[in-house]
Amino acid sequence: MIEYYEILFYNNGMIEESLAVLKNLADLSYFEQEEPAASSCVLAEDDPPAAQPTPSRASTGSIPEIFHAKKSGGGEIRLLKTVLSTACERNCNYCAFRAGRDFHRQTLKPDAMAKLFTQLNQAGIAEGLFLSSGVIGGGIRTQDKIIDTAEILRLKLGYKGYLHLKIMPGAEKDQVLRAMQLANRVSINLEAPNPSRLLKLAPLKTFADELLKPLRWADEIRRTINPLSAFNLRWPSLATQFVVGSVDESDRELLQITQYLHGKLSLSRIYFSRFEPVLNTPFENLPPENPMRQVRLYQAAFLLRDYGYTLEDFQYSDSGRLPLDADPKLAWAREHLAEHPLEINTADRIQLLRIPGIGPVSVKRILKSRNRNPIKELGALRALGISLERALPFILMDGKRPDRQLRLW
């Protein structure tokens, strides 16, 4: 199929030229994080530590890079991540699109973007679309262009697949509503955890009015308006993204706003994008952030969202950073459970989630199993999917520490 579309583009100069522009636009969207509808917790007991799950990318000839993003429940989705324009009037100190940076800017009109993506979709090359843009002519005008693209896709071209739309800084409430009626996910990048950090990172953006307010509108819409007008009769999930490591923000600051966003605005995902310097920007000489910091932030964020942890459950350095040498769940358990292990047969759901090596799925299995019979054998725990090496130092079985505890510490 890829070969067929390369021939089509080659024989049609206008399409070939537009495709070349799309390829350049997609190549410059690497900084945006995305994992559609993901809900799994990336903790060391479940998987080897990894920073934000990084989708693999594939491109062929003039075809834009396609991200193979993980889906909740398993499997992948081939996702085109792109922008309508690399032109931008904002001067964010870290961003490759910032105003005044010397590079060739490119733009696609909404109808061209929609048609090109539809061809990639029909060819089986891209299943879903993530669409953002540089801000040009104001946030409202730019948001209109994004919405126009989505309307062409949904209403004129009949696209029914996955669509993630960015909300631009300064967008109006009606635009947020319209984007939510068309998308499977909407997001707006807060970029920094509070106004003072944002001022250093993106001087022309305002934290409360331009960035946080649209997320509050989106939450209000989901709570107060019937989703009968929404795509697939359900409101989209909400997400945001932070830049980590360029303006001395602490992990405690990032997790404080994370706790608020999950608890008060019901965001599904919060992405942490570690800072990497871009040439010809004010931050070009700053060092890149340690990838392990990104790992620990994701682990802590999932603990806040899915495991019942609070901001005060984590250990911090004097500068408000999480330790890099142990995941935050294991650090908590060593402090609180090493001398006071939990009985696997009587601990409640919240207590079980505090045990390293046990996640939400395995908690359900434990509760179901022990309703039939008490758990007395290590083999029974292993059969339930428990990571024994991580769990045994912190549990009792039938009132006793498991015999293998010392060897597995």
Structure confidence at residue 56 (pLDDT): 45
Digit-coded pLDDT (tens) for 329-346:
999 999 999 999 999 999
Tell me what the mean pLDDT of segment 75-93 comes to: 94
Predicted confidence at residue 71, as pLDDT, reads 75
* pLDDT for residue 271: 95
Question: Do 66 and 79 contact (CB within 8 A), yes or no?
Answer: yes
Name the pLDDT band for 402 (thresholds 50, 70, 90).
confident
pLDDT-derived band at 38, boundaries 50, 70, 90:
very low
Residues with Cβ within 8 Å of 44's Cβ and at least 6 positions away in sequence, in order, are: 299, 327, 329, 330, 356, 390
Q: How buried is residue 58: exposed, middle or buried, by Cβ count under 10 Å (0-12/13-18/19+)?
A: middle
For the segment 263-283, what is each residue's pLDDT rounded down to a tens digit? 999 999 999 999 999 999 999
DSSP label at residue 273: E
Question: What is the per-residue pLDDT across 354-384, written as a single tens digit (0 to 9) for each?
Answer: 999 999 999 999 999 999 999 988 999 999 9
Q: Which residue has the tokens 């060739």?
A: 104
Per residue in 107-135, pLDDT tens?
999 999 999 999 999 999 999 999 999 99
Please state the rounded mean pLDDT for residues 32-47.
49
Candidates 252, 205, 190, 216; CA nearest to 99 is: 205
pLDDT for the residue 59: 46
- Convert the pLDDT of each residue in 164-188 to its tens digit: 999 999 999 999 999 999 999 999 9
Query: Stretch 13-26: mean pLDDT, rounded?
Result: 75
H or E element at residue 114 = helix 110-122
The pLDDT assigned to 31 comes to 66
Q: Is the distance from CB of 195 to CB of 208 less than 8 angstroms?
A: yes
Specify which residues 82 forms β-bridges with. 131
Both structure tokens of 143: 């948001």
Rg (CA), the chain: 23
- pLDDT score, position 34: 61
Distance CA 200, CA 92 (A): 9
Residue 61's pLDDT band (cuts 50, 70, 90): low
Q: What is the mean pLDDT of the chain?
A: 88
Is the CATH code 3.20.20.70 the one for domain 2-313? yes
- Beta bridge partners, 165, equal 131, 186
Question: 404: pLDDT confidence band, cut at 50, 70 and 90?
Answer: low
